[in-house]
Amino acid sequence: MQHAIKYLAFGAALLATAWLPAATADEAADQAAAAVQGVAQLPVVVVTATAEKSPLVVEGELKAPRQPLPAHDGADFLKTIAGFSVTRKAGTDGDPIFRGMAGSRLNILVDGASILGGCNARMDAPTAYIFPEAYDVLTVIKGPQSVRHGPGTSAGTVLFERRIERFEQGGYRLHASALAASAGRHDEVADLRLGRPLGYLQLSATNSQSDDYADGDGNAVHSAYRRYSLSAAGAWTPDEHTRLELSVLHSDGRAAYADRAMDGAQFLRQGFDLLFERQDLPGRLRALEARGYASSVDHVMDDQSLRAPGMMGYADLRRYTYGARLAATLAALRDGPLELGLDTQLNRHDSRSAPPSGMYMPFAADARFAQQGAFVEWTLPFRQGRRLISGYRLDRWHAEDERAVIRGMMSSMPNPTAGATRTEWRNSGFARVELPLRAVPATWYAGIGHAERFPDYWEAIAKEAVMSLSAFDSVRSEKTTQLDAGAVYRAGPTSVTLALFANRIDDFILVDYRSMMKRNGAVRNVDAASYGGEFAVARTFGRRWSADASLAWVHGENRSDHRPLPQQPPLDARLGLNYADAKWSAGMLLRAVAAQTRFDLNQGTIVGKDLGEAPGFAVLSLNGGWRATQALQVTAGVDNVLDRTYAEFVSRAGGNGMGGAIGGYVQTTRVNEPGRTFWLKLLVRAP
């Protein structure tokens, strides 16, 4: 992969030479001055927190240096944001959890396209296919407070996006980095953008690789992995308001897992995306956007290639996803933007298996899901910055159960819902007021949202029902009604954000793992409720010092069984302190997590289950940075300085998932987090 990146960068440089016009001496001097001005923006501070930019919206730069250890997948990045946790499975591919909600309750989009993994056991969460540094901006919309980005966003919406600016003259932009860390980890990233006023070309490549890491006790965790991606995008930009872009992507990898009896031997994803957008149109019609995308995931898991060979053999699972979106933005009453549109998605899943000999059976279709939706979202401004934001969407879902049989650990049984179909109409909507205060530079807000979520593949197909082999026709859609309130304060060197929520969830889809006859879990609907929030404060002291702190807490109840709602992370506090001048930076990050004594043993979600109480822990990390030149920055750090042995409450169980240990590794109650970890990163941006 390192050679692939080198050859890609070399080829791109040759292409740039051929593309760009010859420059005179004066033009070259102007370009050099522009380059110096551009790289002067290269941040020297290592980011330790991502703050709420506006009410219920968190936005962060994905290419900036970060602490803890810079992320190698989407979930790893999200866990640096207050309110997020990650279910640890091994070294990669964790499942993100926001405010105690996981799976399809959290809508994750990459450049507007939905990603769905192939594994029926959640080896490949959507974030597993995202290398954050290959994108530019992350946006998190908390709660059911937007309807523009797809259906069922009860917990929130996560957007990973490229934002490529139009080239006003011929030139290039380069972002490249290399990271080395403990456990033999190394990452390489190259993102080259070539352009002229009429268009641009982007070439991007990433590679991330690691050996098994060790926990604080020095015990190796079955966690080695390697992931890589290659992408290209070309666009026609005849003016500053128009873009027609085609992008393609190829990625693959492998990963060992410490929580189950099989590993991921292949994570092959391929896809393309076609986008047309027109901004700043005259008259009432302000903008148009049309997007179409298609992707495929071919995932292989086995107990043969990354561990001592076992008796389970191979499973090959594929998913094909097709989607489209058409949206228009209008200037409505008081010129408040009104966005309306249509979106659709079709995904189908099939699988095959083989014994250790590798002789595969033919692919057999599992399921097909289709969704069509219409939405409208309107911002109505009032005087003195006050505004009302509201939206509504209607979705039609159609699902087909294509399984002839349901395969268990030792046998196969006829599927009682073979050939069954489901068609449902689901409603979602919200309304929120935002009111700036006159006396202080702050805005407070309050809103109510309702989201109806159709059961996903893992709930309706991959799990059984309590009283049946199939949950397809018995698991009901989930309905969340949530109140959100809070405030955003910014004055000079100080910013404070407060976000509170309380919800009622009818027909919450719970997964019951208590039955020995249903090792993979059985779904059932319960009524639930949760409440909590996040608090963050940041302040700069003079020109060189800054500090930030955050708290996140959630409390969930299973109202039907009068038990705690499972998979609810405990109180999480973070404190960062940073120093930076023109050349040097230094900082620390302290994370303290309370013990969790509220749990419901062996109850959970498609992501994981409660394993019992978990003790609290505190982890200290340190970092430093040096701007070697205008274009080159070096950052380094040590995470878990005190080499603590700890595990997240929402972690998966250590071992092979069948009550035993993985040969050659120590069995633990939960998959432990990494011990003391050193890392060094080089970052180049030009011009």
Dihedral sign, Cα of residue 462, residue 468, residue 473, residue 477: negative
User: How far apart are alpha carbons 428 and 3 in whole angstroms?
Assistant: 48
Of the listed ranges 187-196, 393-402, 509-518, 556-565, the least confidently predicted one is: 509-518
pLDDT higher at 13 or 626: 626
Number of other CB atoms surrounding residue 304 within 10 Å: 19
Number of H helices, E strands in the chain: 4, 35
Structural domains in the chain, CATH included, are 2-686 (2.40.170.20)
Cis peptide before 282 (omega within 30 of 0): no
Residue 292 tokens, joined: 């179409």
DSSP conformation class of 166: P
pLDDT tens profile 40-75: 345 567 888 787 888 999 999 999 888 888 888 999
Would you say the C-alpha torsion 28, 14, 196, 248 has a positive or negative sign? negative
What integer is the mean pLDDT of 120-142?
Answer: 95
Written as six digits, the tokens of 384 are 């003195």
Which of 30-34, 513-517, 547-551 has the least mean pLDDT?
30-34
pLDDT of 409: 60
pLDDT score at 19? 37
What was the pLDDT predicted at 411? 72
Inter-residue contact 644 to 617 (CB < 8 Å): yes
Amino acid at 44: V
Cα(619)–Cα(674) distance, rounded to whole angstroms? 11
pLDDT at position 50 is 81
pLDDT of residue 43: 55
Count CB neighbours of 483 within 10 A.
15
| Amino acid 547: pLDDT | 96
pLDDT of amino acid 1: 39
* 25 — pLDDT class (breaks 50, 70, 90): very low
Q: What is the mean pLDDT of the chain?
A: 92
Cα distance between the two ends of the chain: 25
Reply yes or no on whether the pLDDT at 189 is more than 90: yes
pLDDT tier at 9, thresholds 50, 70, 90: very low
User: Residue 14: which H helix or E strand, with range?
Assistant: helix 2-19
Q: How confident is the model at residue 245 (pLDDT cuts 50, 70, 90)?
A: very high
**Cα angle, residue 290 at apex, residues 285 and 293 outer, rounded to 5°:** 165
Poorest-confidence range of 11-25, 112-126, 479-493?
A: 11-25
User: Can you tell me the distance from the alpha carbon of 509 to that of 526, in angstroms, rounded to the nearest whole number?
Assistant: 7
State the residue for tokens 């750090």: 637
Task: Quote the longest CA-to-CA distance of the chain.
Answer: 79
Is there a contact between 677 and 640 (Cβ–Cβ < 8 Å)? yes
Angle at 525 between CA 520 and CA 527, to 5 degrees: 135
Say whether pLDDT at 293 is over 50.
yes
Q: Which two tokens stand for residue 503?
A: 């919800």
Question: In the chain, pLDDT over 70 holds for what percent of residues?
Answer: 93
Eight-class DSSP state of 383: G
Instruction: List, for residues 379-408, the tens digit of each pLDDT value.
Output: 999 988 899 999 999 999 999 999 999 987
The predicted-structure confidence for 154-179, as pLDDT tens digits, reads as follows 999 999 999 999 999 999 999 999 99
Tell me the pLDDT band of 16, cut-offs 50, 70 and 90: very low
Least confident of 60-74, 314-328, 448-462: 60-74
Q: What H or E segment, with its residue span, contains residue 445?
A: strand 442-453
pLDDT at 27 over 70: no
pLDDT for the residue numbered 392: 98
| Phi, psi angle pair for 7, to nearest 5° | -65, -35
What's the CA gap between 591 and 387, in Å, rounded? 36
- Residue 4 above 60 pLDDT? no
Taking the CB of residue 469, how many other CB atoms lie within 10 A of it? 18
- Of 35-39, 117-121, 200-204, minimum mean pLDDT range: 35-39
Is the pLDDT assigned to residue 7 strictly greater than 50?
no
Tokens encoding 469 = 């082999």
Residue 634, both tokens: 């070096």
- Residues 472-498 have a mean pLDDT of 96
- Please report the beta strands in 184-256, taking only residues with DSSP state E, as ranges in sequence order: 185-196, 199-210, 225-236, 242-255
Q: What's the token pair of residue 79?
A: 């866990």
pLDDT band at 101 (very low <50, low <70, confident <90, very high): very high
